[in-house]
């Protein structure tokens, strides 16, 4: 069994305790162990701040972008190995691994390219100077400077590759050293990628660090100028928010948490739009066995379509083969662990007690793996009274599970979507451009992203659940209130903004561009 060591202070260090074990969720075999007990976390952060941060900030944005490009090459060179680890540790079929591994490489390449075009040297100007006195004798200019602290990246189990690089790319491009703490259950892939990049000796010492496991004092050792970017459950986010370093010292915190995302069929209710919705729902329920924070959990359709759309989704779910991802006939692999399987089964039972079941994979799907594997077949629920249902807008069953509900009119659909109390994404399927534009504005009130799908974009649209680096990823309220990605917007989290007030000719010297 492989011991996943921690990379801190420029060297690999093993923890002192017994740690926890990572398993193959299908075969049940032990694969690796994580352990960071006894690691000197304060020394890790200090080395990252003083060595990594100083070296990164000495480079221009374009020079840091060039380093990201080299990291991309290392990841591409080792891609097959990452696919193998994902199959074994996350139970994913090839297409699902691609979402994580190729999604990571694409996101990193995107930031490498974006950064290569930045002409700023050591800071970024925010807009033009604003006059503060008559005849512009005194003015104010906002600037963004890379923050001097360390970025602690705490990630969820479902995206060990993308989850690392979608955060690391804007952080490193900004000149901020990172310490990644992957979720223990699937830490192997994150660890392997970090190991390969460290071995390639691309980044300055201290810029990239990894802590595996859950050591004491992870947050205690942060200081007020550090930041935390967290992805995981709302409960863990709440615990972390309560930590004195965050609550008292003002450590900046970004949270991406859970979300009950929606898909809405427009009231124009055309067959073409309905087909697009059905296809997207089935895709979203089954990619990565529904373990995507952005997956469709609630489906809203005009009352007249409730039954027919439910049947159309059910008949497609029936054709999905579920089981061991090593079997080429299998389209949907397993959940990441047997603990997750127990949680999903409990969630399904909770919803089943209050809803009708329109497709029950528990009865209709033969799982192509041993019964004790972490495979779970899809389940589609139907709720005919969505206004009063106790759970449909509340619980996120983090597996291949969704609920379809009827709405009366457009306002009703928007109101139901809002019941998620802040979600990452809503998608709208329609052939009425006016309705889609209206829906976008109304849904933006409570969503971080809105996807508008009509037949014109059927082939080109990037998918309800795909977080593209060009677009904001995050959502208000229950979704955590965070923001990630969205092109250069992502860099803001890793910079401090200050207003500089002075004579206009002095302000003019603030930011010489790179030659």
Q: Among all residues, which ones are annotated catalytic? A: 256, 293
Count of CB atoms within 10 A of residue 28's CB?
12
Give the residue with the Cβ less far from ligand NAP, 258 or 324.
Answer: 258
Residue number with the smallest Cβ distance to ligand NAP: 232
Give the residue with the Cβ less far from ligand NAP, 32 or 185.
Answer: 185
Give the residue with the Cβ less far from ligand NAP, 235 or 409.
Answer: 235
Residue 338 sits in the site that holds ligand NAP (CB under 6 A): no
What is the distance between the alpha carbons of residues 447 and 424, in angstroms, rounded to a whole number? 5
Distances (CA, A) of 105 to 19, 69, 295: 30, 10, 21
Closest CA relative to residue 150, chosen from 131, 167, 127, 162 = 167
- Number of residues engaging ligand NAP in binding (CB under 6 A): 26
Give the residue with the Cβ less far from ligand NAP, 143 or 222.
Answer: 222
The residues in 58-117 that bind ligand NAP, with binding defined as CB under 6 A, are none
Residue 461 sits in the site that holds ligand NAP (CB under 6 A): no
- Tokens 């986010």 belong to 237
Give the residue with the Cβ less far from ligand NAP, 21 or 54.
Answer: 21
41-43-45 Cα angle (round to 5) = 70
3-state secondary structure 57-86: HCCCHHHHHHHHHHHHHHHHHCHHHHHHHH
Find out whether 160 and 188 touch, Cβ atoms under 8 Å: yes
What is the distance between the alpha carbons of residues 251 and 241, in angstroms, rounded to a whole number? 10
Residues in CB range of 359: below 8 A, 6 or more apart? 313, 314, 317, 318, 378, 379, 380
Give the residue with the Cβ less far from ligand NAP, 158 or 403.
Answer: 158
Residues in CB range of 455: below 8 A, 6 or more apart? 272, 273, 276, 431
- Closest CB 509 distance from ligand NAP, rounded Å: 40
- Taken in order 131, 133, 138, 143, is the CA torsion positive or negative? negative
3-state secondary structure 347-405: HHHHHHCCCEEEEEHHHHCCCECCCCCCCCCCEEEECCCCCCCCCCCCCCCCCCEEEEE
**Which positions from 423 to 442 touch ligand NAP by CB under 6 A, shown as an x/- string?**
-x------------------
Residue 183 sits in the site that holds ligand NAP (CB under 6 A): yes
Please select the residue that binds ligand NAP; options are 167, 181, 297, 447, rule is CB under 6 A.
Answer: 181
The enclosing H or E element of 451 equals strand 447-453
Question: In whole angstroms, what separates CA 78 from the centre of its chain?
Answer: 22
- HSE, CB side, 13 Å, CA atoms: give it for residue 285: 30
- Closest CB 219 distance from ligand NAP, rounded Å: 7
Please select the residue that binds ligand NAP; options are 9, 33, 158, 423, rule is CB under 6 A.
Answer: 158
- Closest CB 166 distance from ligand NAP, rounded Å: 9
Please select the residue that binds ligand NAP; options are 26, 93, 154, 401, rule is CB under 6 A.
Answer: 154
- Closest CB 39 distance from ligand NAP, rounded Å: 14
3-state secondary structure 297-327: EEEEEEHHHHHHHHHHHHHHHCCCCEECCCC
Residue 160 sits in the site that holds ligand NAP (CB under 6 A): no
The residues in 214-243 that bind ligand NAP, with binding defined as CB under 6 A, are 214, 218, 231-233, 236, 239
Residue 188 sits in the site that holds ligand NAP (CB under 6 A): no
Residue 253 sits in the site that holds ligand NAP (CB under 6 A): no
Residue 32 sits in the site that holds ligand NAP (CB under 6 A): no
**Which positions from 393 to 412 touch ligand NAP by CB under 6 A, shown as an x/- string?**
---x-x--------------
Give the residue with the Cβ less far from ligand NAP, 295 or 491.
Answer: 295
Distances (CA, A) of 291 to 158, 297, 396, 402, 492: 6, 11, 10, 12, 28
Residue 258 sits in the site that holds ligand NAP (CB under 6 A): yes
Q: Which stretch binds ligand NAP (CB under 6 A): 75-83, 177-185, 347-355, 377-385?
A: 177-185
Residue 413 sits in the site that holds ligand NAP (CB under 6 A): no
Please select the residue that binds ligand NAP; options are 4, 156, 222, 301, rule is CB under 6 A.
Answer: 156
Residue 354 sits in the site that holds ligand NAP (CB under 6 A): no
Q: Which stretch binds ligand NAP (CB under 6 A): 109-117, 183-191, 267-275, 402-410?
A: 183-191
Give the residue with the Cβ less far from ligand NAP, 291 or 430.
Answer: 291
Q: In what order do the strands lie in the sheet with 124-131?
A: 124-131, 139-146, 495-502
Give the residue with the Cβ less far from ligand NAP, 224 or 238.
Answer: 238
- Closest CB 90 distance from ligand NAP, rounded Å: 12
Binding site for ligand NAP (CB under 6 A): 154-159, 181, 183-185, 214, 218, 231-233, 236, 239, 256-258, 293, 396, 398, 424, 479-480
């Amino acid at each position: 069994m492989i011991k996943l060591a921690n990379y801190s202070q420029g060297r690999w260090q093993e923890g002192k305790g017994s740690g926890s074990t990572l398993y193959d969720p299908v075969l049940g075999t032990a694969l690796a162990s994580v352990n960071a007990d006894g690691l000197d976390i304060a020394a890790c952060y200090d080395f990252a701040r003083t060595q990594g941060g100083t070296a990164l900030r000495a480079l221009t944005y374009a020079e840091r972008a060039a380093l990201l490009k080299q990291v991309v090459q290392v990841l591409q060179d080792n891609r097959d190995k990452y696919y193998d680890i994902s199959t074994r540790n996350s139970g994913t079929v090839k297409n699902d691994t691609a979402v994580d591994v190729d999604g990571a490489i694409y996101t990193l390449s995107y930031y490498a390219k974006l950064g290569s075009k930045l002409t700023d040297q050591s800071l970024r100007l925010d807009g033009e100077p604003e006059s503060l006195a008559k005849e512009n004798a005194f003015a104010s200019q906002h600037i963004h400077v890379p923050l001097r602290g360390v970025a602690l990246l705490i990630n969820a189990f479902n995206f060990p590759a993308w989850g690392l690089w979608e955060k690391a790319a804007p952080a490193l491009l900004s000149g901020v050293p990172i310490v990644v703490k992957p979720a223990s259950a699937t830490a192997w892939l994150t660890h392997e990628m970090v190991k390969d990049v460290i071995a390639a000796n691309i980044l300055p010492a201290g810029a990239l660090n990894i802590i595996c496991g859950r050591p004491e004092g992870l947050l205690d050792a942060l200081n007020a100028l550090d930041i935390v970017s967290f992805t995981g459950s709302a409960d863990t986010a709440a615990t972390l928010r309560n930590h004195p370093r965050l609550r008292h010292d003002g450590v900046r915190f970004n949270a991406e948490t859970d979300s009950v995302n929606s898909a809405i069929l427009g009231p124009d209710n055309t067959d073409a739009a309905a087909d697009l919705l059905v296809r997207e729902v089935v895709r979203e329920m089954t990619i990565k066995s529904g373990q995507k924070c952005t997956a469709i959990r609630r489906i809203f359709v005009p009352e007249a379509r409730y039954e027919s759309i439910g049947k159309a989704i059910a008949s497609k779910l029936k054709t999905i083969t579920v089981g061991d991802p090593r079997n080429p006939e299998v389209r949907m692999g397993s959940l990441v662990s047997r603990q997750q399987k127990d949680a999903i089964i409990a969630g399904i039972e909770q919803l089943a007690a209050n809803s009708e079941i329109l497709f029950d994979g528990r009865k209709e799907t033969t799982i192509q793996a041993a019964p004790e594997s972490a495979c779970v077949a899809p389940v589609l629920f139907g709720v005919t009274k969505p206004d009063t249902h106790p759970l449909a807008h509340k619980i996120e069953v983090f597996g291949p599970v969704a609920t379809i509900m009827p709405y009366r009119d457009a306002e009703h659909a928007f109101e139901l979507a809002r019941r998620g109390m802040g979600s990452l994404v809503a998608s709208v399927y329609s052939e009425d451009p006016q309705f889609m534009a209206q829906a976008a504005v109304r849904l933006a009130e409570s969503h971080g992203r809105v996807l508008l799908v009509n037949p014109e974009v059927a082939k080109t649209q990037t998918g309800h659940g795909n977080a593209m680096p060009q677009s904001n990823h995050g959502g208000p309220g229950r979704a955590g209130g965070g923001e990630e990605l969205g092109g250069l917007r992502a860099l803001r989290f890793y910079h401090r903004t200050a207003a500089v007030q002075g004579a206009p000719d002095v302000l003019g010297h603030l930011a010489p561009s790179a030659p």
